[in-house]
Amino acid sequence: MGMREPKIRSMKYEEFKNNDYLEEMVKELNANGTNVVVTTADQLIDWGRSNSIWSFLLGTSCCAIEFMTLGAARYDMARFGFEVTRNSPRQADVMLVLGTITNKMAPLMKRLYDQIAEPKYVVAVGGCTISGGPFRKSYHVVNGIDKIIPVDVYIPGCPPRPEAFYYGLMQLQRKIKLENFFGGVNRKQPKPVEE
C-alpha cells in the first residue's frame, strides 16, 4: 500500500505549508503496517467526510461577519462541501470559533464543544481565539481557546480574509483524509459509563 497523500483538487501538495505535520501523521499510520481492505475503506470514508464537513458556528464577533461572505456568491463555500452550517452542535463535525471568547463565554463554549459528537474538530479563527489578540491584556478575555479545548487548525487574521478561511479549512480536509476511520476516529467517543 502506497503512502496516503492528502490531495486537494486544483491545489498542489507543495503549495501547502506545514506539510511536515501531515507527513508525521502518515508515518504514524504506516508504523504498524496497514491492512489493505481497511485502508481502502478508510480512504473512501475519509474522502466523503472531508468533502462534506458540516460546521457549527460559534460566532461572537467580527470574524463571523467575514464568514458570512464565504456563504455568499462571490466566495461560495459550497465548492468545498462545507456550505451546510448548523447552529446546533449536535449536527456538526467541526466547531468554528469566530471571535473573542471571554471569561463569561468560556464555560458555554466548553459545553457546546462537549455536545458535538465524535469525530469532531475545532478551528480557531482570528487572533482573539488564538491568543487573545488585541485584547490579550484584558481582565475578561481567554488568552487562546486551546487552553480550554483542543484546536485542530488556527486561522490567524483580524479578521482573516476569505481566502485564509479556505486555506485553513482545506488544511482541515487534508488532516481528515489522513485519519484512520475504522479503529481510529470512529472509536474516539468514550463508551457511556453504566451505572
Partner 1 sequence: MDIKNKISNIVPNAEFKEQGDLIAVVPADSLHKVAEALRYDKEDAMDYLREIVGMDWGETLGALYYLESTTSHNRIVLRTETSDRENPMLPSVSDLWKTAIIKEREAFDFFGIKFIGNPDMRRLFLREDWVGFPMRKDYDLKSNELNMSNEVNADTTEEYSLNPDGTLSCKHNVVFNPEDFVVNIGPQHPSTHGALRLRTALDGETVKKVDPVCGYIHRGIEKMNESLTYPQTLALTDRLDYLSAHQSRHALCMCIEKAAGIEISERAQYIRTIMDELQRIDSHLLFYSCLVLDMGGFTPFFYGFREREMVLDIFEETTGGRLIQNYNMIGGVQADLHPDFQKKVKEFIKHMRGIIHEYHEIFTGNVIATTRLKGVGVLSREDAISYATTGGTGRASGWSNDVRKHHPYAMYDKVDFKEIVYTEGDSFARYMVRMDEIMESMHIIEQLIDNIPEGEYRVKTKPIIRIPEGNYSASVESSRGEFGVFLESHGDKSPYRLHYRSTGLPLVHALDSVCRGEKLADLIAIGASMDFVIPDIDR
Residue 80: CB minimum distance to partner 1, A: 18
By CB under 8 A, which span of 7-15, 29-37, 95-103, 168-176 interacts with partner 1?
Answer: 95-103
Segment contacting partner 1 by CB under 8 A, of 2-10, 28-36, 52-60, 168-176? 52-60
Helices within the chain (DSSP H only): 19-31, 36-50, 62-71, 106-115, 127-131, 162-177
Nearer to partner 1, 16 or 54 (CB): 54
Nearer to partner 1, 22 or 109 (CB): 109
- Reply yes or no: is the peptide bond before residue 160 cis, omega within 30 of 0: no
What is the nearest approach in angstroms of partner 1 to the Cβ of residue 176? 24
Stretch that binds partner 1, among 6-14, 39-47, 51-59, 173-181 (CB under 8 A): 51-59
CA dist., res. 44 & res. 29, Å (int): 16
Q: Does 112 bind partner 1 (CB under 8 A)?
A: yes
Please state, in angstroms and as integers, the Cα–Cα distance from residue 184 to each residue in 29, 43, 178, following that order. 10, 13, 11
Which of 42, 66 has the CB closer to partner 1?
66
CB of 139 to partner 1, least distance (A): 5
Cell numbers linked to 182: 475504522
Q: Cβ of 52: how many Cβ atoms within 10 Å?
A: 13
Binding residues for partner 1, total number by CB under 8 A: 40
110 binds partner 1 per the rule CB under 8 A = yes
> 74 to 93, contacts with partner 1 by CB under 8 A?
74, 87
Q: What SS3 state is found at 140? A: coil
What whole-number distance in Å separates Cα of residue 9 and Cα of residue 149? Answer: 31
Q: Which residues contact 112 (CB under 8 A, 6 or more apart)?
A: 56, 58, 89, 95
Based on the shown chain and the rule CB under 8 A, indicate whether residue 140 belongs to the binding site for partner 1.
Answer: yes
* Minimum gap (Å) between residue 4 Cβ and partner 1: 36
111 burial via Cβ count (<10 Å: 0-12, 13-18, 19+): exposed
Q: Which residues bind partner 1 (CB under 8 A)?
A: 57-62, 64-66, 68-69, 71-74, 87, 99-100, 102-108, 110-112, 134-135, 137-142, 148, 158-159, 161
